[in-house]
Amino acid sequence: MKMETITRFYCLVLSVLALAQSQTAVAQQAGNQRPNFVVIVADDMGFSDMGAFGGEINTPNLDKLAGEGVRYTNFYVAPTCSPTRSMLMTGMDNHLVGMGCMYEYLAPNQENQPGYEGVLSTEIPTMAEILQANGYHTYMTGKWHLGKNKDHIPAARGFERSFSMLSGSGSYFSMNGPDEESTPNHYVEDHQYLKELPKGYYATKTFTDKIIEYIDSNKGDGKPFLAYLAHQAPHDPLMVPKDYLRKYKGMFDKGWDVLRDERLERMVKMGILSEKTVMGERLWYVPGFDKLKPAAQVVTARKMEVFAAVVDYMDMQIGRLMDYLEKNNLRENTYILFFSDNGPDVNDKASTYKNYPSTNNANWMAKTYTHGFQNWGRAESFTCYGPSWAQLSTAPFFGFKYTTYEGGTRSPLIVVSPKGTNAGQVNTEALMHVKDIAPTLLDIAGIAQPGTFKGKSIPAMQGKSWVSTINGNRTSPRTADDYLGTELWNSKSLRKGDWKIVNVMLPHGTGDWQLYDVKNDPGERFDLAASHPEKLAELLANWDQYMVENNVILPNRTPYDGMEDKLPPRPPVYAPDFSRGSEVPEKG
């Protein structure tokens, strides 16, 4: 009898243990069923730089992702990095979450105003904080640019593990910043501010090393993860490892005019653009490439060769991350997103500083870097590719980083879903925005948006979920009545359906509201404000609503004040029947 009791007890214990193990296995299985998210962001990469969007740069890994996922051609970001990243993190307009203006350029009338703190607001949760609270691992590596003190670094904003450059740019090889004031640059790993970088540091590789390390550290525990890889590439200063320095020698000898047209032709064949698309105006202050002397052509092309190498190397590292996920059976339940934070940069800091030789930054630049043609792309050179090549990166659009023209705010987007829904397709209809990403990830994960944060009520995210669009049930997450507003440094735009109004200050714009049918005129070539006054009035009324709803304070000072006459007068752009060439059409 006693033995029977012991036996029964032993069997009961085994049953309980088996049940516990079964429940654990079910829990792990359920955890594994919740998807992982990999969000990869390039910095200052143009709409058509990668092969999958018409570029000639070698990007086989991004092209492969495009073939496995969907390319979206109407995806919008902010004109610069910090505002874009603030919206990515929160699902809210940048003017509501501390990034109404970048802290480096805050206007006097914006100081001490809510939404203009110059750091990401701690009153609104990040998607990392929400995902982490709901059982996700959260990892971040790369450029942060949303705050530097201990309360604003990635580790304080929901990232379980992080390795980050906190400022906006700097050397790819060292702690040198973009100027004397920012040197040494600020880096953190988790909560620890770094005094030196890892041995053999190269930003693009190290950021990839770290994100793989973090994912690998917990890969067997059954919990899903968010991995946010924010590349510094291809932001200036353009620097690459030595074996990439000459990879693109001769590739760009045709010049920007010919290559812009070739990109446009490829985009038309890919279905990214209509065959009726007219190329955006070539920057009026940039000469035709064929007008340069042969020696100048070779020297100028070298800058684009370096830029291409930086993009190519980033693509290779993205491929390394994809290979890791594949080999560890993590791809089949992972959503992958890739986009650029804004358009390409036209500024050439090294050349600019030469024009102001008595300034501290000019002196610092001269003693810190060497600028000879043969040195471009190396660690000891501060290389930028300038407006001539930036307009190639933005093809077929007009404008660039800092402006609210399409070239500054329309970004290439690739979304890969685990089921491979609509793989290889191009979606030219969906109107999408970077602030949609946070609510989309939460929706996919089955996580409700919180109504409170830190004991206070918070508004619902403004972004729209893409789930129905990703699944192929809806063409676009937005209706005909929805609109997207953008403002930075008094450059303004609003997109609604096929229409867009834009007002960019001198010297890069006209300082007046313009109206474009961007579905048929993505190059913003033909201003329809005079011929469609009712549509202009409609969108201006929406603009007024946008300003009120998002606490937009137009600055009383911008970085472009005093520069109105620094560029030659812009010639008129006429609209006769003409080819899609880069040249401004002649008046008939």
Catalytic residue ranges: 81, 145
- Cβ count near 240 (within 10 Å): 30
Which residue is it, tokens 């496995």? 68
φ, ψ of residue 64 to 5 degrees: the values are -65, -45
Q: How far apart are CA 525 and CA 581, in angstroms?
A: 12
User: In terms of C-beta density within 10 A (0-12 exposed, 13-18 middle, 19 or more buried), how is residue 343 classed?
Assistant: buried
Which residues are CB-neighbours of 417 under 8 A, at least 6 positions away?
A: 69, 335, 470, 471
Closest Cα to residue 278, out of 587, 33, 522? Answer: 522
Q: How far apart are CA 447 and CA 439, in angstroms?
A: 9
Q: How far apart are CA 399 and CA 397, in angstroms?
A: 7
> Please, are residues 197 and 175 in contact by the beta-carbon 8 Å criterion?
yes
Q: Which token pair is 553?
A: 């304070």
Angle at 509 (CA atoms; ends 505, 513), nearest 5 degrees: 75
DSSP for 337-352, please give it.
Answer: EEEESS------HHHH
Q: Is 452 in a helix, a strand, or coil?
A: strand
φ, ψ of residue 337 to 5 degrees: the values are -125, 140
Closest Cα to residue 227, out of 68, 441, 33? Answer: 441
Peptide bond into 568 cis (omega under 30): no
> Please, are residues 551 and 249 in contact by the beta-carbon 8 Å criterion?
no
**HSE toward the beta carbon, residue 540, CA cutoff 13 A:** 12
Q: Is 111 in a helix, a strand, or coil?
A: coil
DSSP for 517-551, please give it.
Answer: ETTT-TT--S--TTT-HHHHHHHHHHHHHHHHHTT
